[in-house]
Structure 1
Amino acid sequence: METLVQPKTKQKIDLIDGKFTPSEASDIIKSILDAKINFHKIQRLSITEGNNIDPCEYDSSRINELINEQQIAKDFFAQARLQGKKLKMRSVIQIDIEE
C-alpha cells in the first residue's frame, strides 16, 4: 500500500532568535535591510535593462520605506547603546503557498 505524502503549503524560517548587544543587533538588522534594499534595486534595474527607450520611471517607495526603517533602527540601537542595554530579537519568516 502506497502512502500519499501531502505537499507542504507552509514554510517557517526562524531567522533571528537571541539576545544581542546593540552593536550586534544593529549589524544584523542593517545587513537584512541592505539585502532587501539591494533586492528591490536589482528588480527595478532588471525591468529596464536592455530597453534604451524606457524612461526609467519606477516606484521607489518600498526602497525609501526601507531606508527610513534603517534610520529608525539606527536611532533605536544608539539609544540602547547609550543606556547600556542588551536587546532580545526574534524574527520568523512565514511563507505560505497562495492558491
Structure 2
Amino acid sequence: METLEQPKATQKINLIDGVFTASEASDIINSVLKVKINFHKLSRISITEGNDKEECTFDTGRITELIDEQQIAKEFFSQARLNGKKLKIRSVIQIEIED
C-alpha cells in the first residue's frame, strides 16, 4: 500500500536578498509595489464586473496604504542616492496553509 505524503504546511520564498544601489533598490521596490497595487485594483474591478447595479463603493484603504509606502520609499531612496549609499534588501515571503 502506498502512502501519500502530507503537503508542506509552510513555504518560504527568498524573493530579494542582496546589496543594491539606490536606483536598483528603487526599481525593485517600485515594481513590487506596482504589482500589489494593480492586484488590488483588478480585484476591486472583478467584484463588480457584469453587475450594473453595484455602487462601486469599496474600501480603497490597502491601495492608499501601498501608494503612501511608494512615496515614503521614493524619499528614502532619494536620500540614500544623495549620500552615495548602497542598500541591503532582504525579503522573504512566508506562505502558510490556513484551515
TM > 0.5 between the two?
A: yes
Could you tell which deviates more after superposition, 4-13 or 54-63? 4-13
**What are structure 2's unaligned runs of at least 5 residues?**
none
Aligned match of 1:84: 84
Shift of the 51–3 alpha-carbon distance from structure 1 to 2, 3 Å rule, reads closer
- Is 1:25 aligned to residue 20 of structure 2? no
Give the aligned residue type for 1:52. D
Q: Distance in 2 between matches of 1:89 and 1:46?
A: 33
Unaligned runs of 5+ in 1: none
SS of structure 2 residue aligned to 1:8 = coil
Instruction: State the match for 1:35 in structure 2.
Output: 35
Identical aligned residues as a percent: 71
Q: Distance in 1 between matches of 2:81 and 2:26?
A: 10
Partner in structure 1 of residue 14 of structure 2: 14
More displaced, 74-83 or 2-11?
A: 2-11
Moved more, 63-72 or 6-15: 6-15
Paired residue total? 99
Q: Could you list the structure 1 runs, at least 4 aligned residues long, displaced by more than 3 angstroms after superposition.
A: 1-4
TM-score in terms of structure 2 length: 0.95
Normalization by structure 1: what TM-score?
0.95
